[in-house]
Amino acid sequence: MLRLILKRILWIIPVAFGVVTITFFTARLFNGDPTELYAPPEANAELLEMIRQDLGLADPLIVQYLRYLGELLRFDLGTSFSTGNPVMADLMNRLPATLELGMLGLAMAILFGVPLGVLAAVKREKLPDFLVRIIALIGMSIPQFWIGLVLLFIFFVQLQWLPGPVGRLPLWVEAPPRVTGFMLIDTLLDGDPAKFLEALRALVLPSITLALCTLAPIARVTRSTMVEALQSDYVRTAYAMGHPDRVIWFRYCLRNALLPIITLIGGIIGFVFGGAVLIEAIFGWPGVGQYALQAIQQSDFIALQGFVIYASLLYVLAFLAVDILYLFIDPRMRPS
């Protein structure tokens, strides 16, 4: 077991190297010249060359690549052209906002998506099944930004129950001292329940939007795998032995249906914690997704490639965790 886990961990090295290489050359070959952002309109060729020297873009591409690899070994993703800060510092500063939103949205999606999928499977071709399938179809077909805009229109514009796209706190509320970066935790540590409620209210609409977008595929995959499990021989045997329905559904069927569900959740984790760019943009959420969007708008390829490397490695780690979970869930994958 330990050897298999170590083998899977070692596979991260060539994958990470490939991600870094592709990201580096793609960012430089297909992006515009960032020197135009810093040069005045009347800049001549000599001034543009001086700016390229300052930005480290005058060297041959292979030299820039080798220098970048050396910086990565020191966990240095470079300096953002637009903010003037190290990209790693920018990402770490924005990461708690993305994690806070992502954990809440993902928890809601799993807590509702898996039971809905089980309900649809055990009530196959009945009203609950049709309702769950309609919800899943709507959640998978409607774009994220449209769901977010509709929720904003209903609960902010019309009903005025929840705050609008103002980020993690309303504009008139002063942020608490930063301790963990998680607004809910920092407001509690600051001993201010009023700010905690404001932070929680600001989380409601973006987390529901994120949950609706990720709940649909979870419910759909859970239903399909549960339907297959319910038709298996061991389930018929369990019914013949007199086991209660809930035991059969959750202990036998769901446990055997977990592999595709966990695989799907691994991909969703990469999407959620990599920064749901459209959702963060709609709600003004200051996470890594909004950081990537700003980098695209400002042709800041240093910040953009730092984000891409972060998001890609996050996917790699998520699926590594899925592979390791397979070893514990499915006995067939363990060494004999």
Q: What is the pLDDT of residue 33?
A: 61
Q: What is the pLDDT of residue 43?
A: 67
Lowest mean pLDDT among 64-68, 186-190, 200-204, 246-250: 246-250
Is 167 within the bounds of a domain? yes
Q: Which residue has the higher pLDDT, 327 or 200?
A: 200
If asked whether residues 270 and 146 sit together in one domain, one would say: yes
Q: What is the pLDDT of residue 292?
A: 87
On the question of pLDDT at 110 being above 80, the answer is: yes
Q: What is the pLDDT of residue 298?
A: 79
Please compute the mean of the pLDDT values over residues 182-194 and round it to a whole number. 90
Is 78 within the bounds of a domain? no
Q: What is the pLDDT of residues 206-263, one digit of tens each?
A: 999 999 888 989 999 999 888 888 888 888 888 888 888 788 887 778 877 788 888 8
Share of residues in the chain with pLDDT > 70 (%): 92
Q: What is the pLDDT of residue 218?
A: 92
Is 145 within the bounds of a domain? yes
On the question of pLDDT at 183 being above 70, the answer is: yes
If asked whether residues 35 and 116 sit together in one domain, one would say: no
Residue 163, token pair as written in the block: 């705050």
On the question of pLDDT at 30 being above 70, the answer is: no
Range of the domain at 153: 92-330
On the question of pLDDT at 137 being above 70, the answer is: yes
**Distance between alpha carbon 251 and the CA centroid of its chain, in Å?**
29
Domain count for the chain? 2
If asked whether residues 56 and 148 sit together in one domain, one would say: no
If asked whether residues 55 and 201 sit together in one domain, one would say: no
Q: What is the pLDDT of residue 324?
A: 81
On the question of pLDDT at 9 being above 70, the answer is: yes
Q: What is the pLDDT of residue 38?
A: 63
If asked whether residues 119 and 245 sit together in one domain, one would say: yes
On the question of pLDDT at 34 being above 70, the answer is: no
Average pLDDT value for the chain: 84
Identify the three-state secondary structure at position 86. strand
Are residues 324 and 5 in contact, defined by beta-carbon separation less than 8 angstroms? yes
Q: The domain spanning residue 104 has which CATH number?
A: 1.10.3720.10
**Distance between alpha carbon 97 and the CA centroid of its chain, in Å?**
12
Residue 35, token pair as written in the block: 């020197």
143, 142, 144, 165: which is closest to 153 by C-alpha? Answer: 165
